[in-house]
Structure 1
Amino acid sequence: MTETADRLHDEDGEADDVTAVPAVDEQLAFDHPGGDSLELADLLTGRTMARRLPSLIRRTFSLAWEVEPRTVVALLACQIVSGISGALGLFATTAALSVLIETADDPSRLDSAVPAVALLAGTAGLRALLGIAVQALSNRLSPRICRQAEYKMLEAATNAEQAAYDHPGFNDRYDAAERGVDVSRDMIGQSQNYVSSLTAFIAAAVVLASLYPLLLPLLLLAAVPQAVAGIRGERVTYLAVVATHKDRRVMTMLRWHLIAKDQSDQVRTDTLAPFLLAKYTASAERVEATSDTAAWDRAKIAVVGAVAAGLVSSAVWGAVFWLLASGRISAAAAGTAVFALRSAATGLQGLVGYGRDLLRTGLYLDDWERFVTEAAGQRLERGTLTPARPRHIAMRNVSFRYPGAHQDTLHDVDFEVRQGEIVAVVGENGSGKTTLMKLLAGLNLPTRGVVTWDGVSVADLDPHAMWRQTSVVPQDFARWPMTARENITLGQPRADGDESVHRAAQASGADDVIKTLRSGLGTLLAREWWGGVALSPGQWQRIAVARPAHRDAGLLVMDEPTSDLDARAEHRIFTGLREMAGDRGVVLVTHNLANTSVADRIVVMAKGSVVQEGTFHELVSRPGLMQELWRLQQDRAAYRTEGNSP
């Protein structure tokens, strides 16, 4: 940050004293919207969990139903049968214990316990098998749910207007939605675990109520301190996670910068490692301090909860002993109550733990749902006309303002390009050249005015049909992790196959690149860790320029197509540009004014408006922005020549 000036100058040039404001360095912090927020801490209460969890489970199974309804039915059936078998097992425990107690003095009667023991063993075996089945069904559904969630997100994003990406917060909400997709695979497992815990708790409650109704309210009373302590402990833990989230992400980022190859040389030559390690240590110490405090707080909560649970449990066990001593229940029933109470305690712990996980995952799923809804609200809704190969593309009185901007980027622009014509667009940075390109290609629609293809507004055209007649080579072109062939054809091969690919590569100079590749056109172009070949920026640019040479599109828009090329490769492309413009309109955006000499017309832009138009020789020979920029480039060349002279 720069220091605030301690003097201001008035109109006469004299300085007025003001109080100096000390500069404060901004601290590195990771700010990621989404489920890791204090919002979840507010939800970690018993009342909120009871209200929100049913809807989360219902939403999870609804998403699963869209994927495989039969698997969902099987999963729920297994859960129900497992719960029933659990209750039957507890009832069988009573019967088995009764027989064993009655035959304690007469072992010859042990045979009568066989049916109850067999039922007990059978229900235990059945529950084990059902547990395996539930796990297998959940594992089957999880990746499918994740794929369905991701597909919905991608489908919504790719079918939204290009302008959606310019809306404030759209990209942040997309990042949050991606996290929702990542955790969606956990939803079914967490939901079925929660349902399983609930089933076990209900089964134990039913058994206890059947043994003696008084035990049921005592069980619920005993559950309260465990539940409260568990929820508060989870809340403390999660608050610590939220408090340390940014520092943990900073540590991850610093680790990458310390060891990544891209800047490993600078870490050494700039002797930067001690400085970065100090920042890493500072973040780590903050994480440790917060974690230590949370661990101590949770331990105190656990102690209080354990004492309260112990007191209430003592009352429950006292009630069991009283019922046994007074003859209200049998010894076998008392033994069953012991098993039921343990099962209920286990189920309660699962309800708290899995409930917490579901709430957190549910927040991320909320982010996903919000993004899908928002993107769907900006869906492409244009005309249905299918354009032919355009002969004349024009802009009339076009103005454009990006979403959230306070002023127009383009102001009343008139522009046209005809089939077989090359039109160069030049101007200083921020003059609106890139915005002009997007409007010509129909990526954005004008705020005012109209863009027409052969007299038809682009708003009335089928956008996908229009883009099939468009080829755009942006300055920041895509480097697809695909083969060289696919990087040129973009998955749309022509009838003559590789012959057209080789012609396109020859036109851009990419053939020299392909000759050096280990598998020719079949070579995977990707970074080394994807098993591919890494190209230089100049080699990639030749591949990118080969794309429009291969694509049979009526409009070709190129933004600085030779910025990374050497003089020989650049000359090769521009000498072939006239041939590429044979039956298509070409719009060329470049800062190298010498390259504009190939154009039929040059359009000069400044501050979002067209300020000049004409041929290269017309514009450099008369006063104006083009002449000024041209002289600046020539002056720089002359300065280099003078500087190199003895």
Structure 2
Amino acid sequence: MKSVQGDEQARTRPPYPEPVDIERKAQWTKSAFDQYGVWQLVTTIPAVLTQVFKMAWRIDRRDVLVMVGAQVVYGIGSAVALAATARAMVPVLGSGSVSHRVHQALPALVVIAVAAGVGRVAYGLASWSVGRLKPRLMTAADVAVVEAMLRVELSAFLRPEFSEEHEAAETGSVRCDRLIYDVQSFMSALIKLVAAFGVLTALHPLMLPVLVLAVLPSGVGAMAEARIEHQVHTANSTGRNVRGMMRWHVTAGKLADEVRGMSMAGYLSYWYRTLSKRLDDRTLSGAGRQLRANLVAAVFGGLCLSLAWGTLLWLTVSGRMSLAIAATAVLAVRTALGNLTNVVHYAASLFHSSLFLGDWKQFIERSQALMPAAGTVPAPREPETIQVRDAVFTYPNKDRPAVDGVSLTLRRGELVAVLGENGSGKSTLTRLMTGLYTPDKGQVLWDGADVSRIDVNEVWEQTGFVTQQFGYWPVSARDNITMGQPVTLDDDRVWEAVDAVGMRGAFEELPRGLDTLLATELWGGVSMSGGQWQRIACARVLYRRPAVVVMDEPTSDMDPRGEHAMFRLLREIAPGRITVVVTHRLINTKVADRIIVMDKGRIAEHGTFDQLVKGGGLFQELYELSLDRGGRGL
């Protein structure tokens, strides 16, 4: 009977909910087009070229010089070949026998052949230098984004616009690969165009303005197309960001058991396909606008091109231009048209790439303002006290402070436990103590020095932090302990930390010992359980031997034996440092010298375990609930 009811419920289940359509807030993120018009952006192309050359110059000066020099030689070769063609046309189209005309044109033909050969060699050298610069330029842009993300203050990740700006910067770093190619192609077409224009102007001055007019509509159309594409890209930034987050959750092996055990695959697939279609629909709407812009540009471009050829025909028929000159003009016009079209095309592509490069540059510049202040006060070494005075901290889009007027003092040699219900402000308080967050009001003092005036990097050099969401780093077992900050040349200190958290047996079983990669996704890598990873996170702190230890739920994934050993270890290492542990398991707070009980961002009570367990306050209530596992009080 129950099975039938279950089947009936499944058939009448409501449809999957659609993903929330998150709007992009204009006041959060402004792209290049939000701040400048088309003409202003066109005029910035020289500045973009300068910026690209500066970036490339810092990477490899020789390759930049080769690229520029080869392009100049290539352009000179094109000009010489075109001018020699004009000289060769006179005898070729003149009177006399074929052999006589060819003999007269031979010197010019030799010049054409030599110029063409030199030009091809120069073009090959330019392409070689670009091929060397492209990957390194892209890497430099990518590394700049990664380093910015590593160095901005923690509160930057709380700003809703920061995520969108980061996503735009990632696209900009990828476009650097295309940008250097566009620069080379633009320079090549421009130099050849100048050569063709010089020949055309010498043949007849009227041809130059007519030829420029012929490709002007194509240029305007290409700029309009680039603008539409960038607008669509910017409009989709939030959706792409959310989709990327969901993609990581869906494809991460860490969550595979929950996805299957909770029958979530159908919903997640629907969610991903629905959001992807929403992004595609927006992109397709932009494609229609691009088509209309291109059609209008094509119509006007065709009319203007007809005008150019009509002008050449009129000059020839009216006798204002000889047949030989006209033949040369035809060749020059074709060369100029091709190169002018390329100039417009690559200028538009360069213009397009510059928009994304502008987003990248904007992110890098804004990240500088989000980095912690250098500080003017030296950080105390091995502080005796940490004082929090009337600290207030509120998260963005929240009305109630997470920490609301908290004052307390932590002393060296003391083990302090912080507890409270979910959302009471425990983790936020620990981040304020260690300079990860700066209070909106109030102060945090290390030995009387305001942390907001200290170089927080000096503060963090003295802290060891186990967070609730610790890293499963895809590096070797050794590097997962030292995190690339070894303090000795041997592994003795690594094994001390491993022994302290009870992981020697597991590490000795690794196929390559401490060199084993702790990531099953990598060849030769192995996996660890959640509890083992948590022990590794604790070992990282013990390896550092910091003056201030903060552990936020350090045993939530451990078995009872491991949990007992860890809290005994915390008691042992407490002398000589400031130690703070956040926990929901109240029985573990017996090892603490003092207990801080948080409630709605404030300190509800504090004292020893024996004082609080009979104090009639929140601690006693939570402790008694923790003992009532059988639900007798319900």
TM-score computed with the length of structure 1 as normaliser: 0.84
1:275-314 to structure 2, matched below 5 A, reads: 276=269, 280=273, 287=280, 291=284, 294=287, 306=298, 308-314=300-306
Partner of 1:493: 486
- Structure 2 match to 1:426: 419
Matching residue of 2:437: 444
State the Cα deviation string for residues 384-409 of structure 1 (Å, max 9, x = none).
42422223333233333446754533
Q: Does 1:72 align with 2:64?
A: yes
Partner Cα separation in structure 2 for residue 298 and residue 502 of structure 1: 63
Deviations 1:93-142 (A, max 9, x none): 11222232336624145233222112111222222222222222222223
What is the CA-CA distance between 1:553 and the residue it aligns to? 0.9
Which residue number corresponds to residue 173 of structure 1?
165
Q: 1:591 aligned to 2:584?
A: yes
Name the counterpart of 2:368. 376
Distance of 2:278 and 2:583 partners within structure 1:
51
Partners of 1:632 and 1:319 in 2: CA distance: 94
CA-CA distance at 1:460 after TM superposition: 4.5
**Residue 54 (structure 1) aligns with:** 46
Answer whether contact 1:103 1:110 (CA < 8 A) is retained.
Answer: no
Deviations 1:533-589 (A, max 9, x none): 232211111111111221121111101101011112212212222222232221110
Q: Does 1:528 align with 2:521?
A: yes
Letter in 1 for 2:485: Q
Q: Which residue of 2 aligns with 1:465?
A: 458
User: Which residue matches 2:350?
Assistant: 358
What CA distance in whole angstroms lies between the structure 2 residues aligned with 1:258 and 1:600?
43
Unpaired runs of 5+ residues, structure 1, are 1-22
For residue 631 of structure 2, give the secondary structure of its aligned residue in structure 1.
Answer: helix
- SS of structure 1 residue aligned to 2:181: helix
How big is the shift at 1:423? 0.9
Q: Is the 8 A contact 1:397 1:448 kept in 2?
A: yes
Pairwise CA distance, 1:524:
1.0
Work out whether residues 44 and 356 of structure 1, in 8 Å CA contact, stay in contact via their aligned partners in 2.
Answer: no
* Change in CA separation of 1:239 and 1:383 when aligned onto 2, cut-off 3 Å: closer
Q: What displacement does 1:477 show?
A: 1.1
The letter of the residue matching 1:378 is L
Q: Does the 8 Å CA contact 2:137/2:176 hold for their aligned counterparts?
A: yes
**Residue of structure 2 equivalent to 1:134:** 126
SS of match in other structure, 2:44 = helix
Paired position in structure 1 for 2:200 = 208
Output the CA distance in 2 between the equivalents of 1:134 and 1:30: 46
Distance 1:301 1:630, change over 3 A: closer
In 2, the alpha carbon distance for the partners of 1:278 and 1:408 equals 33
1:305-344 equivalences under 5 Å are 306=298, 308-344=300-336
Q: Distance in 2 between matches of 1:491 and 1:232?
A: 49
Counterpart in the other structure of 1:11: none
Aligned-residue Cα RMSD (Å) equals 3.8
In structure 1, give the amino acid aligned to 2:498: A
Find the residue that maps to 2:551 and give its secondary structure. strand
- Return closer, same or farther for 1:50/1:274 CA change in 2, 3 Å cut-off: closer
- Return the letter of the residue paired with 1:187: L
Alignment check: 8 A CA contact 1:398 1:448 kept: yes
Question: 2 CA distance for matches of 1:486 and 1:610?
Answer: 38
CA contact 1:510–1:546 (8 Å) conserved in 2: no
| Range that drifts further, 558-567 or 414-423 | 414-423
Q: 1:19 aligns to what?
A: none
**1:638 aligns to what SS in structure 2?**
coil
Q: Judging changes above 3 Å, is the alpha-carbon distance between structure 1 residues 266 and 629 closer, same or farther for their aligned structure 2 residues?
A: closer
Matched, 1:515 2:508: yes
Higher alpha-carbon deviation: 426-435 or 198-207: 198-207
CA distance in 2, matches of 1:360, 1:329: 41
Cα distance, 1:188 vs. partner? 2.1
Aligned: 1:116 with 2:97: no
Q: Which residue of 2 aligns with 1:15?
A: none
Partner of 2:4: none
Aligned-partner Cα distance in 2 for 1:52–1:223: 21
Identify the residue that residue 102 of structure 1 maps to in structure 2: 94
Secondary structure of the residue aligned to 1:582 is coil
Residue 639 of structure 1 corresponds to 631
Residues 473 and 558 of structure 1 are in contact (CA less than 8 Å); yes or no, is this contact kept in structure 2?
Answer: yes
Q: CA deviation at 1:231?
A: 4.7
Which residue type is aligned with residue 571 of structure 2?
R
Deviates more, 1:49-58 or 1:90-99: 49-58
Contact 1:248-1:287 at 8 Å conserved across structures: no
Amino acid at match of 1:485: R
Match for residue 600 of structure 2 among 586, 600, 607: 607
Q: Which amino acid letter does the alignment assign opposite residue 591 of structure 2?
A: V
Q: Which amino acid in the other structure matches residue 505 of structure 2? A: D
Cα 1:320–1:397, aligned 2, differ >3 Å: closer, same or farther? closer
Match of 2:449 among 448, 452, 456: 456
Deviation by residue 1:484-527 (Cα, 9 ceiling, x = unmatched): 11111122223372111111111112223212321111111124
1:623 Cα offset (Å): 0.2
What's the offset of the Cα at 1:268?
10
Q: Distance in 2 between matches of 1:278 and 1:171?
A: 21
Q: How many residues align?
A: 617
Give the fraction of aligned pairs with identical amino acids, expressed as a percent: 37
Structure 1 residues 83-92 or 166-175, which shifts more? Answer: 166-175
Q: Is the 8 A contact 2:84 2:112 kept in 1?
A: yes
C-alpha distance after superposition, 1:220-272 (max 9, x if no partner)? 23223444455556667777777888889999899988887654995798495
Counterpart pick for 1:161 among 130, 153, 159: 153
Structure 2 counterpart of 1:316, which letter? A
C-alpha displacement of 1:174: 2.4
1:86 aligns with 2:78: yes
| SS across alignment from 2:352 | helix
CA distance 1:118–1:531, change in 2 (3 Å): farther
Equivalent position of 2:498 in the other structure: 505
The structure-2 alpha-carbon separation of the partners of 1:581 and 1:91, relative to structure 1 and needing over 3 Å to count, comes to same
Q: Which residue of 1 aligns with 2:5?
A: none
Quote how far apart the aligned CAs of 1:286 are: 8.9
- The reply on whether 1:63 has 2:50 as its aligned counterpart is no
- Mean CA deviation greater in 54-63 or 399-408: 399-408
SS of the residue corresponding to residue 169 of structure 1 reads: helix
Q: 1:267 to 1:507 in 2, by over 3 A?
A: closer
C-alpha distance in structure 2 between counterparts of 1:385 and 1:304, whole Å = 65
Match of 1:219 in 2: 211
Normalised by the length of structure 2, the TM-score is 0.85
- The one-letter code of the counterpart of 1:533 is V
Structure 2 CA distance for aligned equivalents of residues 338 and 402 of structure 1: 69
SS in 2 for 1:129: helix
Q: Within 5 Å, which residues of 2 pair with 1:558-637? A: 558-635=551-628, 637=629
3-state SS, counterpart of residue 437 of structure 2: coil
Shift of 1:620: 0.7
C-alpha separation in 2, matches of 1:40 and 1:317:
37
- Greater CA drift, 588-597 or 475-484: 475-484
